[in-house]
Chains A and B, each alone.
Chain A
Amino acid sequence: DQQVKQNSPSLSVQEGRISILNCDYTNSMFDYFLWYKKYPAEGPTFLISISSIKDKNEDGRFTVFLNKSAKHLSLHIVPSQPGDSAVYFCAASPNNNAGNMLTFGGGTRLMVKP
């Protein structure tokens, strides 16, 4: 029973264009959502987060959108750069307490072509 799903295992985008990564969740108790980026042989690194009281959060080239009624969130990267090529995981938590267990999706491998 996957509570967090990333239905696209991979995505290929041209440098300079927009990358859109999607994530769906089923558990209504989730109230806080995060995106992590993972390079090979490294641990996941935090990218951006959003609380359910918001529908959008921006940080530089990265924007996360949350549609709570649809239980859907997306990460937009504009413009995409070759260095953005990595596996992206969305994760969910019952609240924004940093110590809470995170429930992760299966990941989307983003490839940005020069």
Chain B
Amino acid sequence: DAGVTQSPTHLIKTRGQQVTLRCSPKSGHDTVSWYQQALGQGPQFIFQYYEEEERQRGNFPDRFSGHQFPNYSSELNVNALLLGDSALYLCASSLFGTGGAPPQHFGDGTRLSIL
């Protein structure tokens, strides 16, 4: 039973560039959420995708956008990269509408470094 998988594991970009991160949800899950974890802080919610639409969004600028595909996998795109975008980007999957445990399952993240 494959868990949440993210690619790539590490990425180095320069300021102003654009980046795409990918996530495949746990088998049986249909909802994907993205979080940004800066060094020494807790994860911060970016947005969530269900039925190929953005359902919820955190306090992140429009430079952060996403997409969900019919197979439930998802991409996170960040444009015009800033130094402050350096972080661990976590993808979490869940089954929409289910209550209680098990909650969201997280992947191991993509470490993005901006030079």
Contact = CB atoms under 8 A, between A and B. Distances in A.
Contacts, number: 81
Contacts of A106: 40-42
A103 B100 contact: no
Nearest to B44: A104
A44 B106 contact: yes
B106 A101 contact: no
What class of interface size applies to chain A in its complex with B? 20 to 34
Interface of B: 4, 31, 33, 35, 40-45, 48, 50, 55-56, 58, 90, 92, 94-109
B interface secondary structure, majority: loop
A46 B44 contact: no
Contact of A104 (B42, B48, B97, B98): B42
A46 B43 contact: no
Contacts of B100: 49, 51, 96, 98
Contacts of A18: none
Contact of A101 (B40, B58, B107, B109): B58
A41 interface: yes
